[in-house]
Structure 1
Amino acid sequence: MTVGIDEPDHRGRTGLDRAGRDLTRNPDIVVRDVELLASGWHVLRRTTYDHRHRAGHWTTEQRETYDRGNGATILLYDVARRTVLLTRQFRYPVYVNGHADGYLVEAAAGLLDDDDPEAAIRRETAEELGVDVGDLEHVFDVYMSPGSVTELVHFYAAPYSASTRTGPGGGLAADGEDIEVVELPFADALAMTADGRIADAKTIMLLQWAALSDLFRELHDSAPVGS
């Protein structure tokens, strides 16, 4: 009996070595084996597959993939006040990889878990920022680290105002979250992407999208991209 395969892991999951075995969408890729390497909160697998190259020859390759589920993120904006609402929290992976203190300014985000993307981002926005989101604008869907991480992130934008800020935010203490709500002038946030004070990919992408969109034309007239 192996935990996560034929014996439930601590999250009750079995069959974690089955992912990808039935893939047939690409005739140039034939999956041969999937090994479960770890099943902590998320899942690490090593997959062996045959790959037909453009020149016609086949090679056998192995790749490790980290499966943490899919996620969603959102940029909240107030056009009248020319502001955006972000978060600040400690991220150990960036701290151990050279960031000065490990605290990143980010757009609100979270894993989908068992929700659809819109429901998930509404949940995360309420938990992290204390905002009750109304209409959502879907921006794009992005594979954030396709070389090793399977996650697909759904990007959204939505307005906020004093009337939609219905709670304190801060995240869920029961999950160990300690999230600071950060309101910034849009021009300042955009400048922070240029000088490194905002170094989170999803946040940079959303702020750059906002700078280029007609919706935010009024906001960035006085602050050119990269200023």
Structure 2
Amino acid sequence: MTAGIDTPDRRGRTGLDRQGRGLDGNPDVRIVDVELLSSDWYVLRKTTFDYRGPDGTWTRQQRETYDRGDGAAVLLYDAGRGTVVLTRQFRLPAYVNGHPDGMLLEVPAGLLDGDAPEEAIRREAAEETGLAIGEPQRVFAPYMSPGSVTERLHCFAAPYDGSSPLADRAGVAEEGEDIAVVELPFAKALSMVRTGEIADAKTVMLLQWAALEGLLK
């Protein structure tokens, strides 16, 4: 008996080795086997598949995929004041991979956890910044690291009311969150992309989208 396969894992899940079996959308790919490597909070699988190349030759390959569920992110902006609201928090993976202190400036974001993307961004904006947002605009939904991570990130932009003072800190304490709320002029945020002070991919993408669209001056 294996947790996550035929008995519930710590999150009550079973059948985690069935993800990907039976896919038939690509005639050049045949799923052979799916092995569950880990099902702690997220899920790590090793998939064996046959792949047919352009010359018709079939080769057997293996890939590991990390499944943390899909997420959503939102760029909060005040067009009248020309500002955006970001968060600053500690990210261990960035820290161990060369970031000086692991403190990243980011747009509010989080996993869907069963919610629709629009509901998720409203929840995350409230939890991470204390702000209620206006009508969100769907921007794009990229795969963030398709070589190994299954996550698709639903990205939005939404206005916020900057006329009231912002909270200094936010986050859900029970989840270990300690988040600083940072309001910046949009031009300053763009310059921080150029200097590398903003190095989070989803944040870079949304700021550059806003610049291309002329969302803020």
**TM-score bucket of the superposed structures, by smaller chain:** over 0.9
Residue in 2 aligned with 1:115?
115
* Contact 2:167 2:181 (C-alpha < 8 Å) held by counterparts: no
| 1:34-68 Cα distance to aligned partner (Å, 9 max, x none) | 00000111000000001011121110100000000
* Contact 1:127 1:169 (C-alpha < 8 Å) held by counterparts: no
Residue in 2 aligned with 1:129?
129
Gaps of 5+ in 2: none
* Contact 1:31 1:48 (C-alpha < 8 Å) held by counterparts: yes
Of all paired residues, the percent bearing the same amino acid is 64
| 1:188-223 Cα distance to aligned partner (Å, 9 max, x none) | 10000011100000000001001110333xx1xxxx
Q: Which amino acid aligns with 1:180?
A: A
CA–CA separation in structure 1 for the residues paired with 2:15 and 2:99: 37
Residue in 1 aligned with 2:75?
75
CA–CA separation in structure 2 for the residues paired with 1:75 and 1:69: 21
CA–CA separation in structure 2 for the residues paired with 1:131 and 1:41: 28
Q: Which amino acid aligns with 2:71?
A: G
Residue in 1 aligned with 2:203?
203
Q: Which amino acid aligns with 1:74?
A: V
* Contact 2:67 2:151 (C-alpha < 8 Å) held by counterparts: yes
Residue in 2 aligned with 1:170?
170
Q: Which amino acid aligns with 1:32?
A: V
* Contact 2:77 2:83 (C-alpha < 8 Å) held by counterparts: yes
Give the 3-state SS of the residue equivalent to 2:203 in structure 1.
helix
Residue in 1 aligned with 2:144?
144
Residue in 2 aligned with 1:100?
100
Task: Count the aligned residue pairs.
Answer: 217
Residue in 2 aligned with 1:224?
none
Q: Which amino acid aligns with 1:132?
A: A
Give me the TM-score of the superposition, normalised by structure 1.
0.92
Residue in 2 aligned with 1:49?
49
CA–CA separation in structure 2 for the residues paired with 1:62 and 1:56: 19
Give me the TM-score of the superposition, normalised by structure 2.
0.96
Alignment of 1:184-203 (within 5 A): 184-203=184-203
Residue in 2 aligned with 1:64?
64
Residues 196/134 of structure 1: CA separation in 2 closer, same or farther (3 Å cut): same
Residues 90/185 of structure 1: CA separation in 2 closer, same or farther (3 Å cut): same
Gaps of 5+ in 1: 220-227
